[in-house]
Structure 1
Amino acid sequence: MASMGECSAPIQWQAVSLTHVEYPTDDLTGKLLAWLSLGPIFILVGFVTLIVFKRELHTISFLGGLLLNEGVNWFIKNIIREQRPCEGTHPALTTEYGMPSSHSQFIWFFFTYSFLFLYLRMHQTNNARFLDLLWRHVLSVCLLTVAFLISYSRVYLLYHSWSQVIYGGLIGSIMGIAWFVFTQEVLTPLFPRIAAWPVSEFFLIRDTSLIPNILWFEYTVTRAESRNRQRKMGTKLQ
């Protein structure tokens, strides 16, 4: 098991395939945490995929907040310049500074913003109130668990100290709250105007901020359109 306080112990490290994330050889827990620590990369890929296929302004804004959060992390790191624990343990790292943890700051920004979005922005429009609340609670608990595990993985794998992870989480949470408020109070009122720009129309960029629950809206509209087309096809075949 790799954890802080074991810097002097000889550990043979093995990289996750096609990445520079390392975990102790023959350590199953370390391997699982190493894969889990790639979560921010998967999240970014997911955002790019959503933007390409959905072209929705709020999703673009969410990604912009994540990128700004990364910029703030880089700025703070280069001001504080605190070394990582067990210096030299991971020579493949692209930066030697560890305060605050970028992984922790990223995932807690993502969790905080997502939590606020789920409970303050999304509203179900049907009568399934119990199921609506249930899936929000389940999703929130899952996101919270992932945030804790990714933060813990950075300490377990000797990439960061506990203080670096905790401060990263605090900064990410504050950034998440601030960006959510900025998006709702400043950007959202501008979305209809931005969506009407010629360049937005060319790239099919849309504004769904006035729709309480986009998933429910798309489901109902798609279902209605599908039934309408089925009726038309049935009429033609008669």
Structure 2
Amino acid sequence: MGVLNDPIYRPLSITFIEYQEGDKLGFILAWFSMLPFIYIVALCTLIIFRRDVQTIMYFGGFCVSEVCNYSLKRLFKQARPERTRDRMGLYEVHGMPSDHAQTFFYFMTYLAIFVILKSQMPGSPHIRSIRNRALVFTQLIIAVIVAYSRVYLHYHTVAQVVVGALVGTVLGCIWYYFVNYHFMQYASFITDHPLGKYFLVRDYSPIPRLIHFQYENEYAEAKRWRERRANYVKD
């Protein structure tokens, strides 16, 4: 009876990232280690508001990556690195390959290919090329830091994050090819289906210069409603 017999509570393992007290670099890397979760939340938010087929399939690739990671960990059954104290109760015992590294390299690889092949940002070809290279390079650096954070914080070995990064990169390439060269030809069927219309699923891929198209149309619509409201107030 009493406190000793109370139920044991554990924090959610996916958000509980530890770093050594007083280690400023560890504190920074712990936040980098959180980036995959932040990215996933941002992507889910984008899906809710845009409901675009391409974005939904981008998230679908993450789900495939998670299944692959789960299967590979059961196949290799490689333990995580030794800790200064027992923290295994909070995390999955198997660490090969690193889920963080695999997930973020998948996201960054898919996005990098999309930026290079389908970028519709304004500017001359030279400016777009520089912008795209800078964006891809930034993505690579962030992905490397995320992978390094898992080693620095003693959640994975170097081999585990390297394999995770390779699996995520390969999966990003394969999934991009599948989505954009096979699946997207059926996008019109999805958007025209009654269920797709009910959930307001859209396909933006046929629209050139999408950002300008959305801006111009939304600006004109907002202006029209402002004028309509002003006329209503006058009447």
Same topology, TM > 0.5: yes
2:36 corresponds to: 40
Cα contact 1:20–1:92 (8 A) shared by 2: no
Query: Which amino acid in structure 2 is aligned with residue 103 of structure 1?
Result: H
Matching residue within 123, 135, 141 for 1:139: 135
Once the 2 structures are TM-superposed, how far is the Cα of residue 219 of structure 1 from its aligned partner?
A: 1.5
2:74 corresponds to: 78
Higher helix residue share: 2
Query: Which amino acid in structure 2 is aligned with residue 111 of structure 1?
Result: M
1:156 corresponds to: 152
The reply to whether residue 96 of structure 1 matches residue 93 of structure 2 is yes
Distance 2:41 2:162 in 1: 25
Once the 2 structures are TM-superposed, how far is the Cα of residue 142 of structure 1 from its aligned partner?
A: 2.2
Q: Secondary structure of the equivalent of 2:19?
A: strand
Normalised to the residue count of structure 1, the TM-score between the two structures is: 0.84
Cα contact 2:120–2:210 (8 A) shared by 1: no
Cα contact 1:22–1:90 (8 A) shared by 2: no
Query: Which amino acid in structure 1 is aligned with residue 100 of structure 2?
Result: H
Percent identity over paired residues? 31
What are the Cα deviations for residues 173-216 of structure 1, in whole angstroms up to 9, with x where unaligned? 00000000000111110001110111111111111111234323
Cα contact 2:112–2:136 (8 A) shared by 1: yes
Pairwise mapping of residues 65-214 of structure 1 onto structure 2 (< 5 A)?
A: 65-86=61-82, 89-124=86-121, 126-214=122-210
Change (3 A) 1:127 1:169: closer
Once the 2 structures are TM-superposed, how far is the Cα of residue 128 of structure 1 from its aligned partner?
A: 4.6
What are the Cα deviations for residues 157-187 of structure 1, in whole angstroms up to 9, with x where unaligned? 1111111110110010000000000001111
Distance 1:63 1:216 in 2: 25
Query: Which amino acid in structure 2 is aligned with residue 101 of structure 1?
Result: S
Cα contact 1:121–1:212 (8 A) shared by 2: no
The reply to whether residue 63 of structure 1 matches residue 59 of structure 2 is yes
What are the Cα deviations for residues 112-133 of structure 1, in whole angstroms up to 9, with x where unaligned? 0000000112234x55545434
How many residues are matched? 222
What are the Cα deviations for residues 146-166 of structure 1, in whole angstroms up to 9, with x where unaligned? 101100000001111111110
Change (3 A) 1:73 1:212: farther
More moved, 192-201 vs 126-135: 126-135
Q: Which runs of 5+ in 2 are unaligned?
A: 1-10
Distance 1:127 1:166 in 2: 36
Normalised to the residue count of structure 2, the TM-score between the two structures is: 0.85
Change (3 A) 1:39 1:235: same
1:5 corresponds to: none
Once the 2 structures are TM-superposed, how far is the Cα of residue 34 of structure 1 from its aligned partner?
A: 0.7
More moved, 81-90 vs 221-230: 221-230
Q: Which runs of 5+ in 1 are unaligned?
A: 1-14
Let me know the Cα RMSD of the aligned residues. 2.5
Change (3 A) 1:89 1:157: farther
Query: Which amino acid in structure 2 is aligned with residue 107 of structure 1?
Result: F
